[in-house]
Amino acid sequence: MTLLTVDDLVVEHRTPGRPAVRAVAGAGLTVSSGEVVGLVGESGCGKSTLARAVCGLVPATSGNITFQGGPVRPLGLRRRHRSLLGIQMVFQDPYSSLNPRRKIGAQIADGLAVAGDTTTTPADLLERVGLPRGFEGRHPHEFSGGQRQRIAIARALAARPALLIGDEPISALDASAQAKVATLMRELAVSSGAGLLFISHDLSVVRIIADRIAVMYLGKIVETGPTAEVWANPRHPYTKALLGAIPAADGAGHLPAELAGDVPDPADPPGGCRFHPRCPVAMDVCRAKEPDFTPVACWLHEPA
């Protein structure tokens, strides 16, 4: 069952006296119950802004977001109601979601209260995320980064979300903790029937846990598909470049030549295909017209 539909979403950031920045420039994706979707792309491409719009934390400039059959509207200042939407987010830095002065058991209990769950205990949730029962009385600073992220996941799960969003939830962790935390998020989301939108710039981890991949570049989704297919046969030149940019197992990885150059300024994106200044196979049409196709937004893959 489709849980979340994002359709032609535009989110502009406006600062007085400066040009509006289209952080999300007409993006679409879906997440179904029990499905893990990996949203990948370089930093600054709009992944976090898209996630924040899905949670109602930033208003959509245009387009539609539908969650569980109803529209998502901006929440204004009453952000605590976010959890009532059935969406929980896990952030890169657990300190942004955990209160350093409160015991972790009390913080997990907050989530249980949101769900009206009177049978599960914070200790049960600690166990589910692989931490010992009996740690409820401790404070966040008594844990490692990986453990804190497990606590943040426990707190998010306590609220019984239909959709869990991880916004770079593993990028601040040690390499040894990254795959473990990512795999845990997948297991917990899928076993509870929730959808998981997992945002990362690390394709090697997304490959392990995602059923489908959406590749984002400068505010647009440029390619989507089942993870195995995209991995075996990337079609958009940007996807190919991203896959080529994955560090080799021997640590000798490097950015391939075709991904040379920086991401252009989102306040002044290139005309035509947004990737054309960095694309090794750009054609004349690419500079003139935007390829607004799905599942691959590229003139080389124009649908018949």
Note the residues at the interface with ligand SF4 (CB under 6 A). Answer: 236-237, 273, 275-276, 279, 281-283, 286, 291, 298-300
| Tokens representing residue 122 in the block | 């914070």
Order the strands of the 2-13 sheet from edge to edge: 21-32, 2-13, 62-67, 70-71
Judged by CB under 5 A, which of 21, 27, 45, 48 binds Mg ion?
Answer: 48
Query: Taking the complex as a whole, how short is the minimal distance between the CB of residue 221 and Mg ion, in angstroms?
Result: 15
β-partners of residue 165 are 89, 197
Query: Taking the complex as a whole, how short is the minimal distance between the CB of residue 45 and Mg ion, in angstroms?
Result: 8
**Comparison of 48 and 97: residue with beta carbon closer to Mg ion:** 48
Piece in contact with Mg ion (CB under 5 A), picked from 44-52, 60-68, 99-107, 259-267: 44-52
For residues 157 and 222, what is the distance between their CA atoms, to the nearest angstrom? 31
> Residue 48 binds which entry of ligand SF4, Mg ion, none, with Cβ cut-offs from 5 to 8 Å by kind?
Mg ion
**Comparison of 13 and 235: residue with beta carbon closer to ligand SF4:** 235
In 3D space, the residue among 52, 89, 92, 49 whose CA is nearest the CA of residue 216 turns out to be 49
> Residue 286 binds which entry of ligand SF4, Mg ion, none, with Cβ cut-offs from 5 to 8 Å by kind?
ligand SF4
**Comparison of 24 and 159: residue with beta carbon closer to Mg ion:** 24
**Comparison of 259 and 286: residue with beta carbon closer to ligand SF4:** 286
Q: Measured between alpha carbons, how far is residue 33 from residues 65, 73, 168, 249, 251 in Å? A: 16, 21, 21, 33, 36
Query: Taking the complex as a whole, how short is the minimal distance between the CB of residue 297 and ligand SF4, in angstroms?
Result: 7
**Comparison of 48 and 178: residue with beta carbon closer to Mg ion:** 48
Query: Taking the complex as a whole, how short is the minimal distance between the CB of residue 257 and ligand SF4, in angstroms?
Result: 15
One-letter amino acid identity for 168? E
| Tokens representing residue 262 in the block | 């920086």
For residues 31 and 45, what is the distance between their CA atoms, to the nearest angstrom? 20
Strands 163-167 and 195-200: parallel
Strands 21-32 and 2-13: antiparallel
In the region spanning residues 199 to 218, those forming contacts with Mg ion, defined by CB under 5 A, are: none
Query: Taking the complex as a whole, how short is the minimal distance between the CB of residue 43 and Mg ion, in angstroms?
Result: 6
**Comparison of 216 and 286: residue with beta carbon closer to Mg ion:** 216
Q: What is the DSSP letter of 269?
A: P
For residues 63 and 27, what is the distance between their CA atoms, to the nearest angstrom? 9
For residues 106 and 122, what is the distance between their CA atoms, to the nearest angstrom? 8
Residue 49 engages Mg ion in binding (rule: CB under 5 A): no
Piece in contact with Mg ion (CB under 5 A), picked from 46-54, 95-103, 141-149, 225-233: 46-54
Q: Write out the residues near Mg ion by the rule CB under 5 A.
A: 48
